[in-house]
Amino acid sequence: MYCGKCGQELEKGSKFCTNCGNLVGNMSERSGLSENEQNEQYLYQSDIAQSERSSGKKRGRVLVFAILFLAIGIIGGIYGLHSYFSGKYVAFAIDKEGKYVLINEKGENINGDKYDYTIGFSGGDSKVAVVAVKKDSTMEDDVYELTHYSCKLIDKKGNTIADLSEYDKVGFISGFSKQGLMSVAKQNGVDSEGEPKYEWGFIDTKGREVISCQYDDGRWNDYYMASEWNERGWIAVRKDEEYGVIDEKGKVIVPFADQYFFHYDLGITDLIAVERDEGWGYVNDKGEKVIPFVYDWAEKFSENGLAAVEKDGLWGYIDRDGNIAIPFQFDDAEEFASNGLAAVELPKGLGFGYIDEKGDLVIYDESYSQCEKFDEYGYAVVYKDYIPFERVQSSRAAVCVIDEFGREVFSVSVAERDRRFGETYEVQGEKYRLFYTEDYKDYSDIQYGIADETGRPIMPTDNIKYLSVGENHWFAVNKIEEDGEGRKCYYMDKNKNVVLDLSDEYDAVYPFVYVK
């Protein structure tokens, strides 16, 4: 196999050329079109071919009809081509007035509306966006629960789906869940200190209230907007100062009691970590005690049936019956990833590493100062000679991406900046890893970059304040000018060519999403 750019011979399975850095991709990468786009192009060409075959059967007819059919075909083809390039993807952008607008791939505002705030499209298939217009500009800005905003739902064509003005709060910081539910609240009186009291419920992507507003604020005011529905369709809620678990239809799964669910995501199993007066333990999907409340802390059960628990200052792992599977010997321990590895902090200051399901240390480096959980693609981030958020410990400090064999696939020096990597995510068959740098002196000074699935950068971080990739494989880039004055916002393709520069019209742009 050879590189299509420089001709360098490549090893089998290479993801990029070691000589020129060119990405080695599949046919869709070489063509510049996603698989869906290729299929659509093929169907379009097939339609033309079918039209030609049909017209061939009409040769004996009057010439004027042939001309008419040909004209219709040409007009239809032009119209179809126009639709293909102008209406397939949409994105949000911020204009020069600081307003959010919905644009097409030409940068045109597709519905003429402007909004004060949005977090973009979300839900099971990212089809709905919550948009908000502030009711009173003199009120304190609250974009976390959208208090003092008039909200509505719109689809990807900019059409209004539902008016949410009947609600006093819309807790949309995470948007709609995979189940297509989002929390909303109505005020119901005031508390003993004269502060408004709110009751929370849930709406679907049509704006219908599927679980009535009846639940209280949680231990933190942002409880509902930060909570996550688990894969089983459960969520923890609070009512009359007691916590319970309900499903996506509002049915009570775990009865309300004097207990607390710390983990927003309740996990994927039927055993749920719960804190009660005695300590931490586990209940089943009926709220019945399964594992005694004897622990100082308890993590969620992993797919392999093990959970990390803390007792008397040490961490170990138990199985679903409460038996000790891995002895209490670690200073800290995380849940197991899908590849069967878990990050642990070793005792006596020996550092960090990864253990397998038997408790054996399988990945270790004495320079590791922190390890993060492996992602679903088999990559993890480790910090070397370094304490995140505090200070660099040595000139060797680095952030590395490792594979499940402990091999470093990418490493970045952090002598001057705190560089951290986001999770790997997939866009139409291609995997990317979002990372950013954060200045120690000014934690608001964040710069972004994009790497391939191994962590190898394919977009730089210099002066970039926001960077992400859309479903059309265009990178949304928001950049500060090198002199520190002015902003630029544009879209680039995978070859770093600017395909749409909107700097004159907008202050910021966001990734495109596919319109079905």
pLDDT tens digits for range 350-398? 999 999 999 999 999 999 999 999 988 788 888 888 766 555 666 677 7
138-155 b/e (C-beta count within 10 Å ≥ 16 → b): eeeeeeebbbbbbbbbbb
Of the candidates 72, 112, 117, 73, which has an alpha carbon nearest to the alpha carbon of residue 94?
117
pLDDT at 35: 36
pLDDT at 129: 92
Mean pLDDT of the chain: 76
pLDDT at 422: 57
Of the candidates 400, 408, 405, which has an alpha carbon nearest to the alpha carbon of residue 381?
400
Q: Which of 356-365, 405-414, 500-509 has the lowest mean pLDDT?
A: 405-414
> Letter for the amino acid at 369?
S
When pLDDT is averaged across residues 257-276 and rounded to a whole number, the result is 78
pLDDT in tens, 234-254: 888 888 888 888 988 999 988
331's CB contacts (< 8 A; 6+ apart) are 314, 315, 345, 346, 347
pLDDT band at 445 (very low <50, low <70, confident <90, very high): low
Q: How far apart are CA 173 and CA 36, in angstroms?
A: 31
Q: Is the pLDDT of residue 439 over 70?
A: no
pLDDT in tens, 57-79: 334 443 333 333 333 343 334 33
pTM, two decimals, is 0.71
Q: Which two structure tokens, joined as six digits, stand for 170?
A: 């819309």
Compute the half-sphere exposure of residue 180: CA atoms within 13 Å on the CB side of its CA: 13
DSSP string, 297-341: EEPPP-TTS-EEEEETTEEEEE-TTS-EEEEEEESEE-PPPTTS-
User: Residue ranges per domain, the chain?
Assistant: 1-30, 32-86
Q: How far apart are CA 218 and CA 242, in angstroms?
A: 9
When pLDDT is averaged across residues 481-503 and rounded to a whole number, the result is 83
Q: Is the pLDDT of residue 347 over 90?
A: yes
When pLDDT is averaged across residues 316-338 and rounded to a whole number, the result is 96
Q: Pick from 169-183, 258-272, 501-515 the range whose average pLDDT is largest.
A: 501-515
**More reliable by pLDDT, 316 or 126:** 316
User: Which SS3 state, helix, strand or coil, does residue 286 take?
Assistant: coil
pLDDT at 480: 77
pLDDT band at 419 (very low <50, low <70, confident <90, very high): low
98's CB contacts (< 8 A; 6+ apart) are 507
Q: Is the pLDDT of residue 128 over 70?
A: yes
pLDDT in tens, 178-210: 888 888 999 988 888 888 888 999 999 999 999
Strand partners, 487: 480
CB 48 within 8 Å of CB 77: yes
When pLDDT is averaged across residues 152-168 and rounded to a whole number, the result is 94
Q: Pick from 263-267, 444-448, 469-473 the range whose average pLDDT is largest.
A: 469-473
Q: Which of 49-58, 79-88, 155-164, 455-464 has the lowest mean pLDDT?
A: 49-58
Q: Is the pLDDT of residue 333 over 60?
A: yes
Q: Is the pLDDT of residue 108 over 60?
A: yes
